[in-house]
């Protein structure tokens, strides 16, 4: 008997149909994946199952009984715990306080038992492979660790059904493997996991069955391993998707566009030296947290540099703020949408228009036609799924918000693009488009520095890969050396 079912569930947001008569069912002891393009309705389904939004029609059943899930608290009581795509931790509280928010262990006299809170959460963290003090403030943690704290929080509720909505999107391979160990143990106890991810290799590794959604409808349900990858991709996209990567273009032997010498910044960068040419796609690799992210931030003027030189087109520049960077033709696609400068209540058009000031000001007038064209091109290119350009960005699915962040960066027409895990949360069809786009920008002579949690991306895209270790570039690999094993070996050689 299924443990959790959705029967003919429908849900609209205003005029947007997010789910239409969708069926879903999950058995005890299984990991069940939800697949589908950005905006297909996956998050909407799990939000209904976990009491975040109400369904318009249809039914939810737990162990065969029809239930109502009135709120996330109500869901927890019924044994359903979820990690959502948009992290919901409170930045100014410690990780221990976040874990127990809403369910603080009470000690004598009904005071909050802080010691127990700290002990219990540290136990949880070590299980999940997170080496942090439980007194650390959430805001001081990198995105990947925040995601692990959210996962620990969900496990701490001891649920029968655990929902992971893109909970692995900012995790590196090692962290994912660690999490999968926990998940395997969890399901051995007869418990179930509903798992959402755009990374196909994760689905192959951990899921028993999967359900594909497209345009708000359930398309197929299948057993993982019994269906070819190509078939799955076609169900997801509803069309043939071409192979993901294309050949790498030649880089002209032009003068370097970006020269970094002995860059020291905060605790993260301890003397980075790197030279990049126009048109070059330079990957940044290494174990997570060895300075790759901070390197991109410091080139964008968003992480204070204490020592060293940055030269652009041969001239030294001082980048004190993102504004300085943009003026020098350097733009960043940040890792986290929350810090991506999106104005969530504002429309897609307004968000993108902020970046098109260059094209729209002709003799002081705003050239609306030109602006609209630029915006339309960007939204078409990235297949941004919105009811219209006037829809609020906050109402877009997670992947579509990320596409707006990328579109914004592209509209600035910068010559150096810094991409921090740009395809995080983006569906496979659009990923292929983004790879093509990166390749095209490179052919046009733009320089791209890219950091990714997916090694395959670096292998498929980059001309060279700089491997970071403890805040330095310890090796730069190129040509045939750029393989998953080659990068992993270089990253571990120093450890």
Ligand X SMILES: Nc1ncnc2c1ncn2[C@@H]1O[C@H](COP(=O)(O)OP(=O)(O)OP(=O)(O)O)[C@@H](O)[C@H]1O
Instruction: Using the minimum distance from each CB to Mg ion, give the nearer residue, 397 or 430.
Output: 397
Instruction: Using the minimum distance from each CB to Mg ion, give the nearer residue, 43 or 351.
Output: 43
User: What track of x and - describes contact with ligand X for positions 435 through 474 (by CB under 6 A)?
Assistant: ----------------------------------------
Please provide the DSSP assignment of 353-412 as one string.
HTT-HHHHEETTEE-HHHHHHHHHHHHHHTT---S-TTSBGGGS-HHHHHHHHHHHHHHT
Residue 471 binds which one of Mg ion, ligand X, none, with CB within 5 to 8 A depending on kind?
none
CA angle 161, 177, 174 (to 5 degrees): 135
> Strand (E) positions, 224-335?
258-265, 269-276, 281-285, 305-312, 315-317, 330-333
DSSP-derived secondary structure letter, 32: E
Site residues, Mg ion (CB under 5 A): 43, 85, 397-398
Which member of 6, 24, 39, 347 binds ligand X (CB under 6 A)? 39
Helix (H) or strand (E) holding 100: helix 95-100
Interior/surface letters 264-281, b for 16+ CB within 10 angstroms, e for the rest: bbeebbbebebbbbbbbb
Do 34 and 229 touch, CB atoms closer than 8 A?
Answer: no
**Binding of residue 395 to ligand X (CB under 6 A):** yes
**Binding of residue 397 to ligand X (CB under 6 A):** yes
What is the smallest separation between the CB atom of 34 and ligand X, expressed in angstroms?
A: 8
**Binding of residue 13 to ligand X (CB under 6 A):** yes
**Binding of residue 341 to ligand X (CB under 6 A):** no
**Which residue from 137, 25, 37, 472 is spatially nearest to 271, judged by alpha carbons?**
472
Which member of 291, 398, 429, 471 binds ligand X (CB under 6 A)? 398
What is the smallest separation between the CB atom of 104 and Mg ion, expressed in angstroms?
A: 30
Distance of CA 281 to the CA centre of its chain: 21
Q: Bridge partners of 417?
A: 331, 448
Do 95 and 134 touch, CB atoms closer than 8 A?
Answer: yes
**Binding of residue 169 to ligand X (CB under 6 A):** no
- Number of residues lying near ligand X (CB under 6 A): 21
Residue 429 binds which one of Mg ion, ligand X, none, with CB within 5 to 8 A depending on kind?
none
User: What track of x and - describes contact with ligand X for positions 401 through 440 (by CB under 6 A)?
Assistant: --------------------------x-------------
**Binding of residue 43 to ligand X (CB under 6 A):** yes
- Contacting positions for ligand X (CB under 6 A): 13-14, 16, 18, 36, 38-44, 85, 385, 395-400, 427
């Amino acid at each position: 008997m299924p443990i959790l079912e959705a029967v003919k569930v429908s849900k609209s947001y205003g005029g947007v149909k997010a789910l239409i008569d969708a069926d879903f069912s999950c058995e005890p002891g299984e990991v069940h994946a939800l697949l589908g393009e950005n905006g297909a309705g996956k998050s909407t389904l799990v939000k209904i199952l976990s009491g975040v939004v109400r369904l318009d029609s249809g039914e939810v059943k737990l162990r065969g009984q029809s239930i109502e899930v009135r709120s996330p608290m109500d869901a927890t009581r019924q044994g359903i715990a979820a990690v959502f795509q948009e992290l919901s931790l409170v930045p100014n509280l410690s990780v221990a306080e976040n874990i127990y928010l809403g369910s603080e262990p009470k000690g004598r006299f009904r005071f909050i038992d802080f010691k127990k809170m700290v002990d219990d959460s540290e136990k949880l963290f070590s299980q999940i492979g997170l080496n942090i003090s439980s007194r650390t403030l959430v805001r001081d943690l990198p995105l990947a660790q925040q995601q692990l704290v959210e996962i620990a929080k969900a496990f701490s509720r001891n649920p029968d059904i655990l929902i992971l909505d893109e909970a692995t999107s900012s995790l590196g391979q090692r962290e994912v493997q660690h999490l999968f160990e926990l998940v395997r143990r969890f399901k051995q106890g007869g418990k179930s996991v509903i798992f959402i991810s755009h990374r196909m290799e994760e689905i192959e590794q951990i899921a028993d069955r999967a359900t594909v959604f497209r345009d708000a409808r359930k398309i197929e349900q299948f057993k993982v391993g019994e269906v070819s990858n190509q078939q799955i991709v076609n169900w997801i996209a509803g069309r043939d998707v071409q192979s993901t990567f294309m050949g790498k273009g030649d880089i002209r032997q032009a003068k370097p566009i970006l020269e970094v010498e002995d860059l020291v910044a905060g605790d993260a960068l301890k003397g980075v030296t790197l030279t990049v040419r126009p048109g070059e796609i330079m990957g940044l690799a290494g174990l997570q947290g060895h300075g790759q992210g901070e390197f991109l931030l410091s080139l964008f003027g968003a992480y204070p540099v204490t020592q060293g030189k940055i030269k652009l087109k041969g001239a030294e520049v001082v980048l004190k703020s993102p504004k300085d960077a943009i003026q020098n033709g350097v733009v960043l696609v940040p890792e986290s949408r929350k810090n991506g400068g999106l104005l969530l209540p504002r429309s897609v058009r307004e968000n993108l228009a902020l970046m098109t000031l260059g094209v729209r000001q002709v003799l002081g007038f705003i050239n609306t036609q030109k602006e609209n064209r630029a915006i339309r091109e960007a939204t078409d290119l990235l297949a941004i799924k919105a009811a219209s350009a006037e829809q609020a960005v906050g109402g877009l699915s997670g992947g579509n918000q990320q596409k707006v962040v990328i579109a914004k960066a592209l509209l600035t027409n910068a010559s150096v693009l810094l991409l921090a895990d740009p395809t995080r949360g983006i569906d496979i069809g659009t990923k292929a488009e983004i790879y093509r786009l990166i390749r095209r920008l490179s052919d046009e002579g733009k320089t791209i520095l890219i950091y990714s949690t997916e090694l395959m991306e670096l292998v498929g895209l980059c001309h060279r890969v700089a491997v970071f270790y403890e805040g330095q570039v310890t090796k730069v690999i190129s040509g045939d050396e750029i393989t998953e094993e080659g990068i992993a070996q270089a990253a571990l050689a120093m450890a």
